[in-house]
Amino acid sequence: MNSKSAPGMSMEEQDQFIQEVLKRIRYRMVVFSGKGGVGKTTVAVNLAYALLKADMRTGLLDADITGPNVPKMTGAESPPELMGHGGTMIPGEKNGLKIISMAPMLPENSPVIWRGPLRSGAIRQFLADVAWGELDFLLADLPPGTGDEVLTAAQSMKPHVALVVTTPQEVSLVDCRRAVNMAKKLEIPVIAVVENMSGFSCPHCHQDIDVFGTGGGEKMAREMDVQFWGRIPMELDVRRGSDSGQPIVLSAPESGSGTAFTALAGHVITHCPA
Protein backbone atom coordinates (compact mmCIF):
# COMPACT_ATOMS: atom_id res chain seq x y z
CA MET A 1 0.00 0.00 0.00
CA ASN A 2 1.14 3.52 -0.71
CA SER A 3 1.13 5.82 2.27
CA LYS A 4 1.55 9.39 3.33
CA SER A 5 2.72 7.80 6.61
CA ALA A 6 6.19 7.48 5.09
CA PRO A 7 8.71 4.79 6.07
CA GLY A 8 10.69 5.98 9.05
CA MET A 9 7.78 7.95 10.47
CA SER A 10 7.49 7.43 14.21
CA MET A 11 4.43 5.93 15.88
CA GLU A 12 3.81 9.29 17.51
CA GLU A 13 3.72 11.04 14.14
CA GLN A 14 1.36 8.44 12.70
CA ASP A 15 -0.82 8.80 15.80
CA GLN A 16 -1.19 12.49 14.96
CA PHE A 17 -2.55 11.58 11.52
CA ILE A 18 -4.95 9.09 13.12
CA GLN A 19 -6.20 11.62 15.65
CA GLU A 20 -6.85 14.16 12.90
CA VAL A 21 -8.96 11.57 11.07
CA LEU A 22 -10.85 10.53 14.21
CA LYS A 23 -11.80 14.12 15.03
CA ARG A 24 -14.21 13.99 12.08
CA ILE A 25 -15.86 10.73 13.17
CA ARG A 26 -18.50 11.06 15.85
CA TYR A 27 -18.61 7.42 17.02
CA ARG A 28 -16.21 4.52 16.55
CA MET A 29 -17.24 0.92 17.01
CA VAL A 30 -15.47 -2.44 16.88
CA VAL A 31 -17.27 -5.66 15.94
CA PHE A 32 -15.45 -8.78 17.03
CA SER A 33 -15.87 -12.30 18.36
CA GLY A 34 -14.00 -14.79 20.45
CA LYS A 35 -13.97 -17.34 17.63
CA GLY A 36 -14.48 -17.60 13.89
CA GLY A 37 -17.57 -18.88 12.13
CA VAL A 38 -20.16 -16.95 14.14
CA GLY A 39 -21.15 -14.54 11.35
CA LYS A 40 -19.21 -11.54 12.63
CA THR A 41 -18.67 -9.96 9.20
CA THR A 42 -22.29 -10.58 8.23
CA VAL A 43 -23.34 -8.70 11.36
CA ALA A 44 -20.85 -5.86 10.72
CA VAL A 45 -21.94 -5.38 7.09
CA ASN A 46 -25.67 -5.46 7.77
CA LEU A 47 -25.36 -3.28 10.85
CA ALA A 48 -23.40 -0.70 8.85
CA TYR A 49 -26.15 -0.55 6.23
CA ALA A 50 -28.86 -0.42 8.90
CA LEU A 51 -27.11 2.62 10.43
CA LEU A 52 -26.86 4.17 6.98
CA LYS A 53 -30.60 3.65 6.46
CA ALA A 54 -31.15 5.47 9.77
CA ASP A 55 -29.53 8.54 8.15
CA MET A 56 -26.18 7.97 9.82
CA ARG A 57 -23.10 8.68 7.69
CA THR A 58 -21.27 5.37 8.04
CA GLY A 59 -17.94 3.81 7.12
CA LEU A 60 -16.77 0.21 7.42
CA LEU A 61 -13.12 -0.71 7.96
CA ASP A 62 -12.33 -4.32 7.12
CA ALA A 63 -9.67 -4.97 9.75
CA ASP A 64 -9.57 -8.73 9.20
CA ILE A 65 -6.35 -8.36 7.21
CA THR A 66 -5.76 -12.06 6.46
CA GLY A 67 -9.43 -12.90 5.83
CA PRO A 68 -11.01 -9.77 4.30
CA ASN A 69 -14.57 -10.65 3.25
CA VAL A 70 -16.32 -7.27 3.40
CA PRO A 71 -15.88 -6.54 -0.35
CA LYS A 72 -17.44 -9.88 -1.29
CA MET A 73 -20.41 -9.31 1.02
CA THR A 74 -21.02 -5.75 -0.19
CA GLY A 75 -20.03 -5.95 -3.84
CA ALA A 76 -17.42 -3.21 -3.32
CA GLU A 77 -14.53 -5.00 -4.98
CA SER A 78 -12.70 -2.11 -6.68
CA PRO A 79 -9.38 -0.95 -5.17
CA PRO A 80 -9.33 2.48 -3.49
CA GLU A 81 -8.20 5.49 -5.49
CA LEU A 82 -5.32 7.68 -4.36
CA MET A 83 -5.75 11.37 -3.68
CA GLY A 84 -2.97 13.55 -5.10
CA HIS A 85 0.63 12.52 -4.45
CA GLY A 86 0.41 12.06 -0.69
CA GLY A 87 -0.83 8.48 -0.75
CA THR A 88 -4.15 9.28 0.92
CA MET A 89 -6.68 6.62 -0.05
CA ILE A 90 -10.26 7.40 -0.99
CA PRO A 91 -12.46 4.64 0.43
CA GLY A 92 -14.65 2.69 -1.93
CA GLU A 93 -18.37 3.29 -1.74
CA LYS A 94 -21.27 0.92 -2.27
CA ASN A 95 -24.89 1.94 -1.80
CA GLY A 96 -23.72 4.94 0.20
CA LEU A 97 -21.45 3.01 2.59
CA LYS A 98 -17.75 3.95 2.67
CA ILE A 99 -15.56 0.84 2.71
CA ILE A 100 -11.84 0.10 2.96
CA SER A 101 -10.39 -3.39 2.77
CA MET A 102 -7.18 -5.20 1.90
CA ALA A 103 -8.99 -7.60 -0.47
CA PRO A 104 -9.25 -5.36 -3.58
CA MET A 105 -5.53 -4.53 -3.33
CA LEU A 106 -4.48 -8.19 -3.64
CA PRO A 107 -4.29 -10.57 -6.60
CA GLU A 108 -7.24 -12.95 -6.60
CA ASN A 109 -6.87 -15.80 -4.09
CA SER A 110 -3.54 -14.43 -2.88
CA PRO A 111 -2.90 -15.16 0.81
CA VAL A 112 -1.71 -12.47 3.22
CA ILE A 113 1.16 -14.20 5.01
CA TRP A 114 2.03 -11.45 7.47
CA ARG A 115 3.12 -11.53 11.06
CA GLY A 116 1.17 -9.64 13.71
CA PRO A 117 3.10 -6.34 13.55
CA LEU A 118 2.51 -6.02 9.79
CA ARG A 119 -1.21 -6.75 10.18
CA SER A 120 -1.47 -4.20 12.98
CA GLY A 121 0.44 -1.70 10.86
CA ALA A 122 -2.07 -2.11 8.04
CA ILE A 123 -4.94 -1.29 10.41
CA ARG A 124 -3.17 1.85 11.60
CA GLN A 125 -2.57 2.83 7.99
CA PHE A 126 -6.25 2.37 7.17
CA LEU A 127 -6.95 4.87 9.95
CA ALA A 128 -4.17 7.36 9.18
CA ASP A 129 -4.19 7.33 5.39
CA VAL A 130 -7.86 6.98 4.41
CA ALA A 131 -9.98 10.05 3.68
CA TRP A 132 -13.03 8.97 5.67
CA GLY A 133 -14.35 12.51 5.89
CA GLU A 134 -17.20 13.44 8.22
CA LEU A 135 -18.90 10.33 9.61
CA ASP A 136 -21.42 9.57 12.31
CA PHE A 137 -20.14 5.98 12.67
CA LEU A 138 -17.00 4.12 11.71
CA LEU A 139 -17.26 0.36 12.26
CA ALA A 140 -14.21 -1.90 12.28
CA ASP A 141 -14.81 -5.55 11.43
CA LEU A 142 -12.04 -7.24 13.41
CA PRO A 143 -10.61 -10.74 13.01
CA PRO A 144 -11.79 -13.43 15.43
CA GLY A 145 -10.00 -13.90 18.72
CA THR A 146 -8.23 -11.47 21.02
CA GLY A 147 -4.92 -10.98 19.21
CA ASP A 148 -2.78 -8.12 17.94
CA GLU A 149 -5.30 -6.60 15.53
CA VAL A 150 -8.02 -6.32 18.16
CA LEU A 151 -5.60 -4.63 20.54
CA THR A 152 -4.30 -2.28 17.82
CA ALA A 153 -7.77 -1.26 16.70
CA ALA A 154 -8.91 -0.59 20.26
CA GLN A 155 -5.84 1.44 21.13
CA SER A 156 -5.79 3.41 17.87
CA MET A 157 -9.51 3.96 17.31
CA LYS A 158 -10.49 4.52 20.94
CA PRO A 159 -13.91 2.97 20.22
CA HIS A 160 -17.05 4.06 21.99
CA VAL A 161 -18.74 0.68 21.46
CA ALA A 162 -17.62 -2.96 21.34
CA LEU A 163 -20.13 -5.39 19.85
CA VAL A 164 -19.28 -9.02 20.53
CA VAL A 165 -20.93 -11.54 18.20
CA THR A 166 -21.73 -15.05 19.41
CA THR A 167 -23.94 -17.98 18.55
CA PRO A 168 -26.09 -19.55 21.29
CA GLN A 169 -23.99 -22.70 21.68
CA GLU A 170 -21.64 -23.06 24.62
CA VAL A 171 -18.51 -23.60 22.50
CA SER A 172 -19.02 -20.09 21.09
CA LEU A 173 -19.98 -18.58 24.44
CA VAL A 174 -16.73 -19.76 26.05
CA ASP A 175 -14.72 -17.67 23.59
CA CYS A 176 -17.24 -14.85 23.66
CA ARG A 177 -16.67 -14.45 27.40
CA ARG A 178 -12.97 -13.92 26.69
CA ALA A 179 -13.82 -11.26 24.11
CA VAL A 180 -16.12 -9.47 26.56
CA ASN A 181 -13.41 -9.51 29.23
CA MET A 182 -10.90 -8.11 26.74
CA ALA A 183 -13.28 -5.25 25.94
CA LYS A 184 -13.60 -4.59 29.68
CA LYS A 185 -9.81 -4.55 30.14
CA LEU A 186 -9.55 -2.07 27.26
CA GLU A 187 -12.15 0.10 29.05
CA ILE A 188 -14.43 0.45 26.04
CA PRO A 189 -17.38 2.49 27.36
CA VAL A 190 -20.25 0.44 25.91
CA ILE A 191 -19.97 -3.35 25.57
CA ALA A 192 -22.80 -5.38 24.08
CA VAL A 193 -23.48 -8.91 22.88
CA VAL A 194 -25.60 -9.97 19.91
CA GLU A 195 -26.69 -13.58 19.42
CA ASN A 196 -26.38 -14.57 15.76
CA MET A 197 -27.81 -17.72 14.10
CA SER A 198 -30.46 -17.78 16.81
CA GLY A 199 -33.06 -20.17 15.47
CA PHE A 200 -33.97 -21.24 11.94
CA SER A 201 -37.44 -21.14 10.40
CA CYS A 202 -37.84 -24.16 8.14
CA PRO A 203 -39.07 -22.96 4.72
CA HIS A 204 -41.01 -26.21 4.24
CA CYS A 205 -42.74 -26.92 7.55
CA HIS A 206 -42.39 -23.36 8.94
CA GLN A 207 -41.32 -24.75 12.31
CA ASP A 208 -38.66 -22.87 14.30
CA ILE A 209 -35.59 -25.04 14.81
CA ASP A 210 -32.95 -24.04 17.37
CA VAL A 211 -29.95 -25.43 15.48
CA PHE A 212 -27.43 -23.98 17.95
CA GLY A 213 -29.78 -23.60 20.89
CA THR A 214 -31.19 -20.27 21.99
CA GLY A 215 -30.83 -17.75 24.79
CA GLY A 216 -27.19 -18.49 25.60
CA GLY A 217 -25.97 -15.06 24.52
CA GLU A 218 -28.55 -13.21 26.59
CA LYS A 219 -27.81 -15.32 29.67
CA MET A 220 -24.07 -14.80 29.29
CA ALA A 221 -24.47 -11.03 28.80
CA ARG A 222 -26.58 -10.83 31.96
CA GLU A 223 -24.02 -12.83 33.95
CA MET A 224 -21.17 -10.62 32.72
CA ASP A 225 -23.12 -7.38 33.28
CA VAL A 226 -22.99 -6.14 29.69
CA GLN A 227 -25.71 -5.09 27.26
CA PHE A 228 -27.66 -7.64 25.22
CA TRP A 229 -28.81 -6.24 21.89
CA GLY A 230 -30.91 -9.03 20.49
CA ARG A 231 -31.05 -12.20 18.42
CA ILE A 232 -30.58 -12.57 14.67
CA PRO A 233 -32.23 -15.63 13.14
CA MET A 234 -30.72 -17.91 10.51
CA GLU A 235 -32.21 -17.37 7.06
CA LEU A 236 -31.17 -18.73 3.68
CA ASP A 237 -31.42 -15.27 2.14
CA VAL A 238 -28.71 -13.99 4.51
CA ARG A 239 -26.27 -16.53 3.08
CA ARG A 240 -27.40 -15.88 -0.48
CA GLY A 241 -27.06 -12.14 0.00
CA SER A 242 -23.59 -12.48 1.49
CA ASP A 243 -22.44 -14.52 -1.50
CA SER A 244 -23.91 -12.11 -4.04
CA GLY A 245 -23.00 -8.80 -2.39
CA GLN A 246 -26.60 -8.01 -1.44
CA PRO A 247 -26.87 -7.57 2.36
CA ILE A 248 -30.28 -8.63 3.62
CA VAL A 249 -30.88 -5.23 5.22
CA LEU A 250 -31.03 -3.89 1.65
CA SER A 251 -32.49 -6.84 -0.25
CA ALA A 252 -35.15 -7.97 2.27
CA PRO A 253 -35.49 -5.37 5.04
CA GLU A 254 -38.84 -6.77 6.20
CA SER A 255 -37.46 -10.28 6.74
CA GLY A 256 -36.77 -11.63 10.21
CA SER A 257 -33.05 -10.94 9.88
CA GLY A 258 -33.59 -7.58 8.23
CA THR A 259 -35.80 -6.34 11.06
CA ALA A 260 -33.35 -7.76 13.64
CA PHE A 261 -30.47 -5.79 12.11
CA THR A 262 -32.61 -2.64 12.05
CA ALA A 263 -33.39 -3.13 15.73
CA LEU A 264 -29.67 -3.68 16.41
CA ALA A 265 -28.87 -0.35 14.78
CA GLY A 266 -31.46 1.26 17.02
CA HIS A 267 -29.67 -0.10 20.09
CA VAL A 268 -26.36 1.27 18.81
CA ILE A 269 -27.77 4.75 18.25
CA THR A 270 -29.62 4.78 21.60
CA HIS A 271 -26.71 3.62 23.72
CA CYS A 272 -23.88 5.65 22.21
CA PRO A 273 -22.51 8.19 24.68
CA ALA A 274 -23.89 11.70 24.21
* pLDDT tens for each residue of 217-254: 898 999 999 999 999 998 888 888 888 999 999 999 99
Confirm whether 45 is domain-assigned: yes
On whether residue 9 sits in a domain, the answer given is: no
Per-residue pLDDT, 202: 65
Summarize the confidence of residues 126-143 as an average pLDDT.
95
- Report how far apart, in Å, the C-alpha atoms of 174 and of each of 68, 215, 220 are: 25, 14, 9
SS3 226: coil
For residue 29, the surrounding DSSP H or E stretch is: strand 25-32
State the virtual CA torsion across 179, 184, 189, 193 in degrees, nearest 10.
30
Q: How many domains does the chain have?
A: 1
> Coil, strand, or helix at residue 10?
coil
Q: What is the pLDDT of residue 197?
A: 85
Q: In sequence order, which residues have a C-beta less than 8 Å from that of residue 124 and are 6 or more positions away?
A: 5, 14, 18, 152, 156
Tell me the whole-structure pTM to 2 decimals: 0.91
Q: Is residue 154 part of a domain?
A: yes
Summarize pLDDT for 193-226 with one digit per residue, the tens: 999 988 666 666 666 766 556 778 898 999 999 9
Residue 231 is part of which domain span? 14-271
In this structure, what CATH number is given to the domain that contains residue 74? 3.40.50.300
| 4 or 251: which leads in pLDDT | 251
pLDDT digits (tens, 9 = 90+) for 69-114: 999 999 988 888 888 666 789 999 999 999 999 988 887 878 888 8
Q: Pick the range with the lowest mean pLDDT from 6-15, 70-79, 126-135, 159-168.
A: 6-15
Stretch 36-60: mean pLDDT, rounded?
95
146 domain-assigned: yes
Residue 2 placed within a domain: no
Q: Is residue 8 part of a domain?
A: no
Q: Is residue 72 part of a domain?
A: yes
Total number of residues shown for the chain: 274
pLDDT of residue 2: 44
Cα 188 to Cα 205: distance, rounded to the nearest angstrom:
43
Asked if the structure places residue 115 within a domain, the reply is yes
Per-residue pLDDT tens digits for 150-206: 899 989 999 999 999 998 877 778 889 999 999 999 999 999 999 998 866 666 666
CA atoms of 242 and 42, how far apart (whole Å): 7
| CA 80/CA 63 separation, integer angstroms | 15
